[in-house]
Structure 1
Amino acid sequence: MPIKNRFAELLPEITQWRRDLHENPEILFETHRTSALVAEKLRAFGCDEVVTGLGRTGVVGVIKGRVGTSGRTVGLRADMDALPIHEETGLDYASKTPGAMHACGHDGHTAMLLGAARYLSETRNFDGTCVVIFQPAEEGGGGGREMVEDGIMDRFGIDEVYGMHNWPGQPLGAFAIRPGPFFAATDQFELVIRGKGGHAAKPHEVIDPTVAASQVVLALQTIASRSTDPTKQIVVSVTSFVTSSTAYNVIPQAVTLRGTIRTLDADIRALAEHRLNRIADGLCAAMGATPELRMIYGYPVMVNADRETGYAADAARRVSGDCAEAPLVMGGEDFAYLLNERPGAYILVGNGDSAPVHHPAYNFNDEVIPAGCSWFAEMVESRLPIAS
């Protein structure tokens, strides 16, 4: 039976898994129920090995093909964690956990990889080993980094690794991918500008950090417009401007600026931090204020390997008939840590006309499941073919 037909048969059961996960979301590394459910199903499918507690609450399942002469191993990864958002979908299977919801479709990713694991355990129509990776804390916790630091690549002998994300606005079940830099590095900064506070009626007696901070906010826009090659992507956003005073007639002692820097190139990432420092130092010195900068480094640039991107696109075409060129994405994705360790690729699958991810009205479209499961399974069977 063709792969996609088998998943069409399994759709009601996989949908039930997905909706159960949606109803019981867990945030960051607190995916205890989710991880236990995943491990239980992998054991029931007959995986050769199931390991829990990797990257704190991650789960890995090992499925050996019916032929093992190639000695090669392909990894497939899905993220499991939800977001700290109050759900507003009105679904009968909406989140039962106040302040938490699957607003990014990780419930769908987990269900699709479970479906693929069931199929691969049943058929084992490949030569080598498949490792299914269920990761916590993609949403800002760096669960991918922690699983890598726990040694999953070497422990399970992974040679190449693949991942997938649903994409609202893209046609239902349609795939898109691009080689090279794909998702951005996401760094945060906190800049405290200290002056000398005083009465608003006597500005000549103070060093006003509000004026200095305002100049800095405007000047930071020149990092993109005047310091960076215009063919390179960079977004510098000041998202918070907080003073130490809330009174109408008090000039504050300090102002705190917070924001993000998003880049798709390591050199531009370094340049942006350098320019942030120089701009803050120079403008504050001119006004008598003192800056204190703290950088919070986020996920690195996620880079798809050229050859493996081709494999992933070919698999998508066999599943859906086409694979489009994906846009560059200035959001972050911690699959980057896995791709820093092994060649591989990350692909998008269309969620149709839905609310955007990270929105309280978002919901993963269950009709995507056969296409997503099929792509996972096709990656294993095409990368680990049995010789005729």
Structure 2
Amino acid sequence: MTIKNIIVGGLLFAGVSALAQAQTVAEMASQIEPEVIQWRHYLHQHPELSNREYETAKYLAKYLKDLGLEVQTGVAKTGVVAILDSGKPGPVVGLRADIDGLPVKELNSLPYRSEAIGEYRGEKVPVMHACGHDTHMAMLMGAAKILVAQKDQLKGKVKFVFQPAEEGAPNGEEGGAELMVKEGVLKNPNVDVMFGLHINSATDVGTVKYRAGGIMAAVDTFKIVIKGRQAHGAYPWKSVDPVVTSAQMIMALQTIVSRELTVIDDGAVVTVGIIKGGNRSNIIPEEVTLEGTIRTLNPAARTLIHEAMHRKVKAIAESMRASAELILPYGPAYPITYNDPSLMQQMLPTLVRTAGNEHVKEAKAVTGAEDFSFFQTQVPGLYLFVGGKPLAVAEADAPPHHTPDFYVDDSGMKLGVEVLTNLTMDYMNKAN
């Protein structure tokens, strides 16, 4: 087969086979890697909080327009969507990157560290890309540049989705992937498949991790309001004590996972993170509130935990002569981040060609959550992890996500650019 070489936008593409494609995409990713790093550094220095990514959106929109793409702004408040049309019939592939930062003060000494300030819950707070969303944007920008250069090799359309508010919309607001889906981001043109990835500070640079089925947990927040009768702490028999009642509930909730789930099959977490009640040490209060989170990795476990919580809260309150209201869900609820097994099987050879067999590893499911799951409830999708940890750093010493010391190395982004690009091309051309 004759190799056809084309220069588009300063990038060289040579297309013959899936393997040749992967090799060429790797070369192209190397060419633009300095730009990807530059984009990442700029975005890292200018983080913005959920639903407030105004300047980030302008930066992304200008870049995408300069690539010659059809661009839509203001999607789900501050999201940006761009479409690349190959001009040939074929599927519509969606590629997603999240764009919001976190209310975290950066404590490292990077020359591009963030000094940004934002507003969170009515207070001025430092803002940091403490989960790698800056790298996600830069990687998708890189993939967009390569895919534009390869336009004549594509069949169908690519929809680049830069999504706000993955970390959760501010109180009283909608946002994130759920709002994007509600506003029709998967329509016009209708998306056939979605690909997304997350950089990981504890995974070696050059590694990609995958899992068929549930890879990240569903999340449900809950609130329990326990009401009793107030009394002097010296005369507890005159009270209906919501403090003691809440203590019994907290312990009982832990038995749902340990005694009602099939622990060899189901991973789940029930955590109470907030207890509020009382204002003086010698007064038994009238009311106590509990708030917490539930994490599940399959729908059956999620249903069981919800049923068991209602049952236990009601029974314990009645046994203590108190009343209790369980509000579930209370606030945001995310579905399971579920990688379609047949799609995973189809695209796994792409990961191997891209990263090399020894660098493609099956991951264990994690109890963290991702709102990419809302896209996956509508269309088949894959969510993957790429490494951001320097090889010289031990996994135990890698700063975790959502912390002031969080760090991922620039060199991890090149693989992410290649993964997004090759998944798109292989799916379009049915190379597998």
Pairwise CA distance, 1:333: 0.5
8 A Cα contact 2:146 2:421, kept in partner = yes
Candidates 259, 265, 275, aligned match of 1:241 = 275
Alpha-carbon displacement from aligned partner over 1:46-104 (angstroms, at most 9, x marks no partner): 22x11111112111111123x61x33111111111111111112222111213211000
User: Which 4+ stretches in 1 moved above 3 angstroms?
Assistant: none
| Residues 1:314 and 2:349 are matched in the alignment | yes
SS in 1 for 2:34: helix
| Superposition TM-score, scaled by structure 2 size | 0.86
- How high is the TM-score relative to the length of structure 1? 0.95
Query: Is this contact kept in 2: 1:127–1:386, CA < 8 A?
Result: no
Counterparts of 1:328-347 in structure 2, within 5 Å, are: 328-347=365-384
Q: What is the CA–CA distance in structure 2 between the aligned matches of 1:96 and 1:136, rounded to whole Å?
A: 21
Q: CA deviation at 1:26?
A: 0.8
Retained in 1: the 8 A contact 2:218–2:297?
yes
Aligned to 2:288: 255
C-alpha distance in 2, partners of 1:82/1:7? Answer: 26
Structure 2 partner of 1:62? 83
Q: Within 2, Cα distance between the matches of 1:248 and 1:51?
A: 57
Work out whether residues 45 and 122 of structure 1, in 8 Å CA contact, stay in contact via their aligned partners in 2: no
Structure 2 residue identity aligned to 1:136: P
Within the candidate set 97, 102, 106, 1:78 is matched to 97
Distance 1:278 1:201, change over 3 A: same
The residue aligned with 2:133 is 106
- Local SS of the residue matching 1:238: strand
Q: Distance in 2 between matches of 1:71 and 1:320?
A: 26
Q: Greater RCO between the two (CA within 8 Å, min separation 6)?
A: 1
Uncovered stretches (5+) of structure 2, i.e. residues with no partner: 1-11, 13-23, 118-125, 170-174
Cα RMSD after superposing both structures? 1.5
Secondary structure, aligned partner of 2:202:
coil
> How far off its partner does 1:160 sit?
0.9
Q: Is the 8 A contact 2:107 2:404 kept in 1?
A: yes
Letter in 2 for 1:53: G
Q: Deviations over 1:108-143 (max 9, x none)?
A: 000000011011112212122111111001112351
2:57: which partner in 1? 35
Equivalent residue, structure 2, for 1:350: 387
Instruction: Return the alpha-carbon distance in structure 2 between the equivalents of residues 293 and 104 of structure 1.
Output: 32
Q: Which residue of 2 aligns with 1:220?
A: 253
Query: Whole-Å Cα distance in 2 between the matches of residues 126 and 339 of structure 1?
Result: 23
Counterpart residue number, 1:50: 71
Structure 1 residue 180 displacement after superposition: 0.9
2:362 equivalent among 314, 325, 328? 325
Aligned equivalents of 1:173 and 1:89: distance in 2? 23
**CA–CA distance in structure 1, aligned partners of residues 364 and 167 of structure 2:** 21
The 5 A counterparts of 1:83-162 are 83-98=102-117, 99-124=126-151, 125-141=153-169, 142-162=175-195
Q: Give secondary structure in 1 for the equivalent of 2:113.
A: coil
Q: State the secondary structure of the residue aligned to 2:368.
A: coil
Q: Deviations over 1:16-65 (max 9, x none)?
A: 11111111111111111111111100111122x11111112111111123
What is the DSSP-based 3-state SS (H/G/I as helix, E as strand, rest coil) of the residue aligned with 1:277? Answer: helix
**Aligned amino acid, residue 154 of structure 2:** F
Alignment of 1:234-313 (within 5 A): 234-243=268-277, 245-295=278-328, 296=330, 297-313=332-348
Structure 1 runs not aligned, ≥5 long: none
Distance in 2, matches of 1:170 and 1:4, equals 20
